[in-house]
């Protein structure tokens, strides 16, 4: 039985998703939600929005770009988020309205997401600040 646990762990790691790198986690003005930009691979970046008390599920995405390696998140208020991304990036997926968050469903609380392509230097922004609220 002892040899089974390491074998099972190795199997889960090899079958699981690739690890992601968090670029930024940005709490909403009230702190109830968190928007996160994560690097999925050397070429893809994705957005996840979740309740602050939930763990990040990297498989749940509301926005994915390729050939853009950065982003800036700006909460305009509790129900409006703006995502700035490199203008030369290829948008693979984008949701403009979420009913709840990326990871939950709540038809009574829509979250509106606006996207703005912004000039960048080779797909990156020359700023240290990536979260505004």
Give the separation between CA 52 and CA 31, rounded to whole angstroms.
7
Taking alpha carbons only, the member of 85, 32, 42, 34 closest to residue 63 is: 85
Beta 33-39 vs 44-51: how paired, if at all?
Answer: antiparallel
Alpha helices by DSSP H, the chain: 4-15
Q: What pLDDT, in 10s, does the model give residues 35-87?
A: 999 999 989 999 999 999 999 999 999 999 999 889 999 999 999 999 999 99
Q: Coil, strand, or helix at residue 105? A: strand
Question: Do residues 58 and 38 touch, judged by C-beta distance below 8 A?
Answer: yes
- The residue with tokens 């050939």 is 67
Confidence of residue 8 (pLDDT cuts 50, 70, 90): very low
């Amino acid at each position: 039985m002892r040899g089974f646990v390491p074998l099972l762990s190795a199997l889960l790691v090899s079958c699981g998703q690739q690890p992601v790198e968090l670029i930024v986690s940005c709490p909403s003005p009230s702190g109830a939600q968190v928007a996160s930009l994560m690097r999925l691979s050397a070429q893809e970046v994705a957005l996840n929005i979740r309740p602050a008390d939930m763990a990040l599920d990297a498989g749940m995405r509301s926005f994915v770009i390729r050939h853009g390696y950065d982003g800036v998140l700006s909460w305009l208020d509790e129900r409006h988020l703006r995502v700035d991304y490199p203008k030369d990036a290829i948008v693979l997926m984008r949701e403009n309205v979420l009913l709840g968050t990326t990871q939950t469903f709540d038809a009574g609380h829509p979250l509106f997401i606006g996207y703005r392509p912004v000039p960048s230097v080779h797909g990156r922004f020359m700023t240290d600040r990536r979260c505004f609220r």
